[in-house]
Amino acid sequence: MKKLLLSVASIVAVLAFSGVWSASAQNKKGDAPSQREVRLTLHNQSSEKQVIPKEIYGQFAEHLGRCIYGGIWVGENSPIPNQKGYRVDVLEALKALKVPVLRWPGGCFADEYHWMDGIGPYEKRPKMVNTNWGGTVEDNSFGTHEFLNFCELLGCEPYVNGNVGSGSVEEMAKWVEYMTSDADSPMANLRRENGRNKPWKVKYFGVGNENWGCGGNMRPEYYSDVYRRYATFCKNYSGNQLYKIACGASDYDYKWTDVLMSQVGRQMHGLSLHYYSVMNWDRKGSATQFNPNDWYAVIGKCAEIDSVIKRHCDIMDEYDPRRQIDMILDEWGTWWDEEPGTVRGHLYQQNTLRDAMVAAVSLNIFHKYTYRLKMANIAQMINVLQSMILTRDDEMILTPTYHLFKMYVPHQDATFVPMYYESESIRDVNRREVELFSATASRKDGVVTLSLVNVDLEKECKVVVALDDETKYEVSGEILGAKEMNAHNTFEQPENVKIQKFDAFKSSKGQIEVVLPAKSVVTLTLK
């Protein structure tokens, strides 16, 4: 058994249920599964001031497959209902998630993207070949104006990733000026000619992406100097203050973090990290066809990000004990083989209950580290990797991961609530320790949100929550789960996995007892 001390943000338990099979209903049938028990102490009266930034729930939209074209953007002449070219159904679904920040245009695409190809009249924009993702020819109809206007419609902060790998310092400097300057200057005037009088507010700006790989195959020492040069010419115009993000490490590359912290330091505001829950990069496995060993293996891999974040944070603490440089986890999530019959290189995959479970366990971990971790961007928003939404022509479905994010909305900008519990664990096929229970909690405007995750495929879990006050709370609950571990939503059956009401709990002064079905996420709201 492993002891855990966690903090929690706005108590929302995520992972909705398809076919509510409540514990009480199963007991009546006499076929309830065997049960584990977890005792959890929730320190609601703690003076903890750590806030879970809403940016932890950030999104990522790369020019990859049908994420942009057909996912977000269809153009104003499309028969698909749209608002100035943006899909109305997608826009409304994303608004419900309260998306706080959106990263664009990549990813690997960012370091081959030349922004001036994506401005001006559509008919004059040159086409380009997306060499990273399937060799697709794009018409550049979705560019700077389309992205920044989309962020305004969505009500989120834009996170623009600049081109270091194949772009020049001048190109990057002019892009910043084009977007943010209100002066009588060449780039600002060009923006005005293209239909936007006032500049946009652009806070987050990435100086390159994966420059250790697709962004230039650089060494950390070399990239450190490149970053310093490029970032120098990313200026603050007209009251806009750039928050500059340096390309950070992949997974377990602790040397990269050490070198960047020592050689760049306070010249960056944030340092990125990428971590995917992938078992084998050569054979990633099917998104929908898997066995229990596969289930526990990916949960084990995703949970390993706990130790990865901690070690990167520890290195950052050595150079920056006052924690003035943030960690930015701007790519994370699952990555499976592409769906059969889809375009190779477009990374279109289905999304099952297993993916939602990965999201829940991951977010619970992220909440603990928000003293340094200030943003996370799941990959990716639509039709690519662990997406929120899948589209097919004029149809749209919401994935289990979407529903999980919807359940966790109350944690955004809430105060982390510490807790203590012990969880049973098993060893997966890779000998990783997999804890069978995960939790997080937060408090906002006097309301506590408690999110509880039962990873176990077989057993339900009784959770006894001890509160540090004698208040009799009004409790309500939601659940995300399913009878089958590979349950997912399709265009023919779009509601196989969805959030449902949950009432398998008892509340009294100082205590709440909850019974979590196997493979489920429950969120309790305490008022």
Alpha-carbon dihedral angle through residues 19, 24, 27, 29, given to the nearest 10 degrees: -50
The two tokens of residue 374 are: 């200030």
User: Which of 368, 486, 496 has its CA nearest to residue 438?
Assistant: 368
Tell me the one-letter amino acid at 340: P
Beta carbons within 8 Å of 62's beta carbon, 6+ residues apart:
68, 104, 105, 106, 107, 108, 109, 110, 133, 379, 380, 384
Yes or no: say if 42 and 421 are a contact pair by the CB < 8 Å rule. Answer: no
Yes or no: say if 90 and 50 are a contact pair by the CB < 8 Å rule. Answer: no
Supply the DSSP symbol for 100. -
The CA distances from residue 454 to 64, 258, 348, 476, in Å, are: 34, 36, 28, 18
Supply the DSSP symbol for 281. S
User: What gap in Å lies between CA 20 and CA 479, rounded to an integer?
Assistant: 8
Question: 422: exposed, middle or buried (C-beta count within 10 Å: 0-12, 13-18, 19+)?
Answer: middle
Q: Which of 157, 331, 338, 435 is catalytic?
A: 331
User: What gap in Å lies between CA 24 and CA 274, rounded to an integer?
Assistant: 42
Which backbone phi and psi does 147 adopt, to 5 degrees?
A: -70, -50
Buried b (16+ CB within 10 A) or exposed e, 490-505: eeeeeebbbbbebebb
DSSP-derived secondary structure for 422-484:
EE-EEE-TT--EEESEEEEEEEETTEEEEEEEE--SS-EEEEEEEESS-----EEEEEEEESS
User: What gap in Å lies between CA 154 and CA 148, rounded to an integer?
Assistant: 10
The two tokens of residue 258 are: 């050490």
Which backbone phi and psi does 291 adopt, to 5 degrees?
A: -115, 175
The two tokens of residue 187 are: 């780039």
Map 101-143 to HEC letters.
Answer: EEEECCCHHHHHCCHHHHCCCHHHCCCEEECCCCCEEECCCCC
* Cis status, amide bond into 380, omega within 30 of 0: yes
- The maximal CA–CA distance of the chain, rounded, in angstroms, is 77
The two tokens of residue 358 are: 């990965």
Check if 331 is active-site.
yes
Q: Which of 210, 435, 460, 478 is catalytic?
A: 210
Yes or no: say if 320 and 261 are a contact pair by the CB < 8 Å rule. Answer: yes
* Cis status, amide bond into 58, omega within 30 of 0: no
What residues are annotated to the active site? 210, 331
